[in-house]
Amino acid sequence: MENKKEQLSSIREYVYNLFHDDTTGHDFHHMKRVARIATTLARKERADLFICESAAWLHDIGDKKLFANPELARNEMDVFLAKIGVKRNTIEHIYKAMNDVSFSKGNIPATLEGKVVQDADRLDAMGAIGIARVFAFGGTREQLIYHDEKPENTSIQHFYDKLLKLKSLMNTQAAIEIAQERHVFMENYLDQFFLEWKS
Ligand code: ADP
Ligand code: NI
């Protein structure tokens, strides 16, 4: 049995072991930033801090893009959470918060904690860090940066397909404010990108 602080530090270590060598933009530092942003949002929104922080750390475990055997990854996580003494109903609440996070699934999470974690994950896909992640991800998919005649499936196209839409998809007021600033930064980045592209 561990107290909540010890449990969070065990979770952090568990996540470090799984993600430290990822090169697709889903590395340990993505999980760390999502955990930190989720904690900030949770305080402002009066959501459950422990659920938000742990679900944020764990949110990409079992993602089909990242795990060869997603079900095994989820099962191992379940055994781990029980082993460090997280109560069964808390574990279930964490899963609920994790499950609807993905942008690709397009779900609005049912719980406030799910909304917080989804917003935190989406904020990390925006702004300067979000821009870095697009090109990191694009590189691992052997995707072009951009192409005049065929912009489809380029990393720049991904801004229009996803990143510029995220601002309007935030669930919490606290996230809307941060998203606004990051959105403007991405618009300015694209202006400069096309200025240089055409020069
Ligand atoms: P989720 O894992 O929440 O479903 P995504 O897989 O769409 O979200 O996005 C995770 C990260 O990968 C984000 O930073 C996103 O911008 C980036 N990403 C996803 N798809 C692409 C793509 N086609 N090109 C470039 N970056 C991408
Ligand atoms: Ni994520």
User: Using a 6 Å cutoff on CB, does residue 133 contact ligand 1?
Assistant: yes
CA of 104, closest atom in ligand 1? 4
User: Using a 6 Å cutoff on CB, does residue 25 contact ligand 1?
Assistant: yes
Please choose, from the candidates 136, 191, 137, 142, the residue with its C-alpha nearest in 3D space to the C-alpha of residue 164.
191
**What's residue 1's pLDDT?**
62
User: Using a 6 Å cutoff on CB, does residue 31 contact ligand 1?
Assistant: no
C-beta of residue 114 within 8 angstroms of C-beta of residue 168: no
pLDDT at 85 over 80: yes
Question: Can you read off the two tokens belonging to residue 111?
Answer: 């719980």
Centre of ligand 1 to C-alpha 85, Å, is 33
**What's residue 106's pLDDT?**
78
Domain boundaries, the chain: 4-198
User: Using a 6 Å cutoff on CB, does residue 30 contact ligand 1?
Assistant: no
3-state SS, residue 63: coil
CA of 102, closest atom in ligand 1? 3
**Residue whose pair of structure tokens reads 């996230």 in the numeric block:** 175
Task: Give this complex's ipTM.
Answer: 0.95
Ligand 2 is an ion; residues with CB less than 5 A from it: 60, 121
Average pLDDT of the chain?
Answer: 96
4-198 CATH fold? Hypothetical protein af1432 (1.10.3210)
pLDDT in tens, 155-182: 999 999 999 999 999 999 999 999 999 9
Please choose, from the candidates 134, 117, 114, the residue with its C-alpha nearest in 3D space to the C-alpha of residue 182.
134
Eight-state DSSP code of residue 26:
-
The span from the CA of 162 to the CA of 7, in Å, is 34
Centre of ligand 1 to C-alpha 161, Å, is 10
The span from the CA of 155 to the CA of 173, in Å, is 29
Centre of ligand 1 to C-alpha 134, Å, is 7
* Phi, psi (deg, nearest 5) at residue 21: -105, 20
pLDDT at 2 over 80: no
Give the confidence band of 101 by pLDDT, cuts at 50, 70, 90.
confident
* 171: CB partners within 8 A, 6+ apart: 108, 109, 115, 116, 118, 119
pLDDT in tens, 51-60: 999 999 999 9
